[in-house]
Amino acid sequence: MNDSNLTIALPSKGHLYKPTMDFLEACALHVHRDSDRQYQTRMQGIAQTMVVVFQRPRDIPKLVEEGGVDLGITGFDIFYEMGGEMKSGECVPVFPDGRTGSQIPALPYGGCSLVLAVPDHWVDIVSISDLAEMALVRKREGRMLKVATEFPNLTKEHLFKQGVSYFELTEIDGAAESTPRMGSADIVADLKSSGVTLAENRLKEIAGGKILDSSACLIASRRRLMDKERQRAAQLFIDRIEAHLNASRYWLITANVTASSEEDVFDQFSKNLKQEEIDLLGQEGPTVARVLCLKKGRSLKYSVYSIRIQVESEKLEKVIAILRAKSGRNILVSPASFVYDEAPRAFGMLLKKLKQGE
Amino acid sequence: MRSYLEPKQNRTRRDRKMLSDKMQIKSVRGTQDILPAEYEKRRQAWEAIQNVFRQFGYRGVEIPTIESIDLHLRKSGEAIRRHMYSFKDLGNETLCLRPELTASVVRMFISKLWGEKLPQKLYYLGSVFRYDKPQKGRYREFTQAGIECIGGATPEYDAEVIALACRVMEELHISDYEVVIGNIGIVLELLSQKKIDERVKNYIVESLETLSKSSGIDKGIQEIEEGLEKIGISMEELPREKVELLEAVKKLPEAQARKVVAWVIDTIYGSTGGDRDSQEIAGNLLAKITRDEQRPQIRETLNFIRELTQIHGVPPKVFGKVDSLIQRAGLDPKPIEELRLITEYLDHYGVDWSKVRIDFSFGRGLAYYTGMIFEIYCHSKNLGADQKQVCGGGRYDDLIGYLGGASSVPALGLSFGLERLILAMEGYLYEPEFLDAFVAPVGGEKEFRYALDIACRLREAGLRTDIGAKDKSVKAQLRMADSLGTKFVLLLGEEERKENAISLRDMRAAKQIKCSMTQAIETMKKGVAPP
């Protein structure tokens, strides 16, 4: 592996593999893998050479921490199970930028939650505090509460934080949900995306039992990215992802309207708008341009203008309504592929974190 | 001249480049490397602390860094347990790095010193490990110096331990400190009198620490109530249907109610796996319904604590105020009597009451205390706002029983945070020379051999001596001696060798004399004698 190239580790298999490939493709970053046995390739579609290595999601945080790669995509749950930022400070989360109160969003796939679940016939246990009480009683009787999980660290931390002090963890490798029925554990801490698996195994979630909301995340190696050259290279990649995440919030609308001048278009649309609705006409205002009409017989006083607006997704219908009210036509709505902020937020946050660790 | 003790401050670009090399292995996060300057301070501080421990008749012990995790799970407070370093060794045994030392000393006492004459007064110094968020002045590995007085049953021992702690502060020339003394026994008695659930009890005891550190009692009590809410104890009024349910449940004898509920569970869920049968579940469900009844008792307890916090001041006046409150609550006055006696004994130790505060509502994070507790805060600006505490301790009469002692043995102890003490005493530590003499051969092989002989003689005479390299000029030798901060340099050239003499140079006075070996040793011993 040429050390001067920026290297990213991607999940080689599992539930994160395909969504990761799809997501990168949507960012116009092409990763071609001939077979699922190929463990190294290149990323196309970015102005620098980027090496891709495929690894098990569980191995990626460690690889990033040790500086074996510059960047990595893995599960947020796995990252924090392996110690998160706390562990050595060498692994810096980028998307999202932290576990609580993060300002940068997570990658938009691979969503699930790590939850505590108890057998559904435990009608007396509906909340984490019931569990705490029960654990204490059982400990006094000399029967420790047995918890099976693939995520012992996160589970332990959550139980302690919620006042459940006495329990034994059984670390297992998958299929935790079957352990209570087999008698090898009393309760489980397991990943849940729809809840069907829990129900099938006759388990139920309890209040206060959610340990972590997880999704895919991008992490960066402090050691590698302290180097200015590598930082610049990583910024291109991070900016691209951020722009794509931004873009999902917006639509682009173009429509034709009739008016006497550009200003007249603006007046017509802005006249009845309340102050808080002003951004319905775009982030800074609409782009208005004259349409050169081919059709004859148009009044000389009025011409056709094309109006172009960038609008937040949830406001789309409102804007369409306004356009229709002003007899807008040829209304064309298209998704934005990339929306770049004036300043790169995610990369800025990463730089800040790199500095903090110095 | 740059002090030899100061670490190199200004790194060059090349140094930094070297440091960012990816092959470089960093120290583990939250740990610190103790460089010579720091090491010297620690050595001096520990020597002073150790002297005080010995003055009070304590004997030193050392305990292992790794312990079985059960030892610390059994009675450590939540705060410590959550931050423990635990791991499985190759034999698949779950171990931990000690998060504190008291439990280990107690374990040692039970297994090795049981049956010895009491009290056993022991002292120790050692690293402890807690997986906290590293900050300035807070490390994941830090050092505790402490004592345990096992078998010290009566208040005179409490007074002795507090007096010893004050003595340490004075010995270290830290004058800007404050001692807070309390007795957790008051609140513990109240909690058992009110028959409050163990989990709630543990929570309230552990919250006392946050209470004493929160801004304002109302906010503190509110925080405790919010915390209780989190562990499922609501302080809100019970809704009507809950009250009705409670009434209905109370009407049925418990065994009958349990039978009915168990039947319902079996009917709905059929055969149930695991080791909890429907009877147990039914029993717990019924207990849960009645648990809401302890709310008035909790409320009363919190109100009492609120009143306790209002009482503070200097003994003996402060005791008058607390007596009536204890009487009104119908509590045993014993903890108060103990405190009163402790303060009287402290008078004999000449404790400065302007530095001591009695706080009856004061609590500590460790769950094993049973009686007197105290902490020492230091207001040095070198310590961060939440790192003012440099010492803490108290009485733990039940711990030995908990940790497997054949009977319970009263005991108490304290520990100092060495790193914080050193930050607080900044300015009082002197930087001694670490070398008394530098032997500088000037010339060839013969002179070097002569210098070797001289260096051996100096060391035998008890002088800390280093020897310069062969084939160096006088100028280079003096430069080396200067960088080491040595007061005396012995220049040994051909002339000196032939005359069997020494050219002794006093670097501070910049004076040089030629003399015999005996004279040189005499002069140096006088010259390096500590002030």
Interface contact flag, B272 A121, Cβ < 8 Å: yes
- Ranked by mean pLDDT, the top range of A138-147, A224-233, B49-58, B386-395 is B49-58
Interface contact flag, B82 A161, Cβ < 8 Å: yes
Q: Best residue in A64, A123, A223, A354 to probe B by mutation, most B CBs within 10 Å?
A: A123
Q: Are B405 and B387 in contact (CB under 8 A)?
A: no
Q: Are A130 and A99 in contact (CB under 8 A)?
A: no
Domain locations along chain B: 36-184+363-427, 240-292, 437-526
Helix (H, G, I), strand (E, B) or coil at B352: coil
The span from the CA of A87 to the CA of A225, in Å, is 18
Q: Best residue in B13, B18, B23, B82 to probe A by mutation, most A CBs within 10 Å?
A: B82
Q: What is the pLDDT of residue B416?
A: 96
Looking at the complex, report in whole angstroms how far the Cα of residue B83 sits from the nearest Cα belonging to chain A.
9
Q: B302 in the Ramachandran plot: left (φ > 0), alpha (ψ -120 to 50) or beta?
A: alpha
User: Considering only alpha carbons, which residue of chain B is nearest residue A208?
Assistant: B230
What is the predicted ipTM?
A: 0.72
A126, two tokens: 């509906």
Sheet of A329-335, strands arranged across = A287-290, A303-312, A250-259, A329-335
Predicted TM-score (pTM) of the model is: 0.68
Lowest mean pLDDT among A77-91, A194-208, B229-243: B229-243
Q: Which residues of chain A make contact with B199, given a CB cutoff of 8 A?
A: 132-133, 136, 163
Query: What is the Cβ-side half-sphere exposure of residue A19, based on CA atoms within 13 angstroms?
Result: 14
B28 touching chain A per CB within 8 A: yes
Q: Which residues of chain B make contact with A121, given a CB cutoff of 8 A?
A: 265, 268-269, 272, 278, 281
Find the DSSP H helices in B78-216: 78-82, 102-108, 155-171, 184-193, 198-213
CATH class of B36-184+363-427: alpha beta
CB pairs under 8 A between A and B: 79
Helix axis angle, B184-193 relative to B334-348, nearest 10°?
170
The span from the CA of B11 to the CA of B16, in Å, is 7
The span from the CA of B139 to the CA of B134, in Å, is 5
Q: Are A54 and A272 in contact (CB under 8 A)?
A: no
The span from the CA of B22 to the CA of B4, in Å, is 29
Q: Which CATH superfamily is domain B437-526 in?
A: Anticodon-binding domain (3.40.50.800)
Position A93 confidence tier, pLDDT thresholds 50, 70, 90:
very high
In 3D space, the residue among B420, B419, B451 whose CA is nearest the CA of residue B437 turns out to be B451
Q: Which residues of chain B make contact with A181, given a CB cutoff of 8 A?
A: 273-274
**Average pLDDT, stretch A262-272?**
84
Q: Are B469 and B418 in contact (CB under 8 A)?
A: no
Lowest mean pLDDT among A135-144, A313-322, B262-271, B501-510: A135-144
How big is chain B, counted in residues? 531
B273 touching chain A per CB within 8 A: yes
Interface contact flag, B268 A88, Cβ < 8 Å: no
How big is the CA angle at B256 (ends B250 and B262), to the nearest 5 degrees? 110
B354 touching chain A per CB within 8 A: no
Q: Best residue in B132, B200, B272, B286 to probe A by mutation, most A CBs within 10 Å?
A: B272
Q: What is the pLDDT of residue A59?
A: 93
Interface contact flag, A123 B281, Cβ < 8 Å: yes
Residue-level pLDDT, tens digit, chain B, 531 residues: 344 444 455 555 555 555 555 557 888 889 999 998 888 889 989 999 999 999 999 999 999 999 988 888 776 656 677 788 988 888 878 899 999 999 999 999 999 999 999 999 999 999 999 988 887 778 999 999 999 999 999 999 999 999 999 999 999 999 889 999 999 999 888 888 888 877 788 788 888 877 766 677 788 888 888 888 777 677 777 788 888 888 888 888 888 888 988 889 888 888 666 778 888 888 888 888 777 777 888 888 888 888 888 887 778 788 888 888 888 888 888 999 999 999 999 999 998 888 998 888 887 766 788 999 999 999 888 887 778 899 999 999 988 988 888 898 999 999 999 999 998 887 666 666 778 899 999 988 999 999 999 999 999 999 999 999 988 888 999 999 988 888 899 999 999 999 999 999 998 888 899 999 999 999 888 876 543
Sheet of B488-492, strands arranged across = B465-467, B437-441, B488-492, B502-506, B511-515
Q: What is the pLDDT of residue A212?
A: 93
Interface contact flag, A124 B273, Cβ < 8 Å: no
Q: How far is CA A105 from CA A21, A218, A242, A344, B367, in A?
A: 19, 10, 9, 13, 40
Helix (H, G, I), strand (E, B) or coil at B217: helix
CA B151 to chain centre: 21
Interface contact flag, A160 B81, Cβ < 8 Å: yes
Q: What is the pLDDT of residue A81?
A: 92
User: Considering only alpha carbons, which residue of chain B is nearest residue A88?
Assistant: B29
B260, two tokens: 């009915």
Helix, strand, coil share of chain B (percent; to 5)? 50, 15, 35
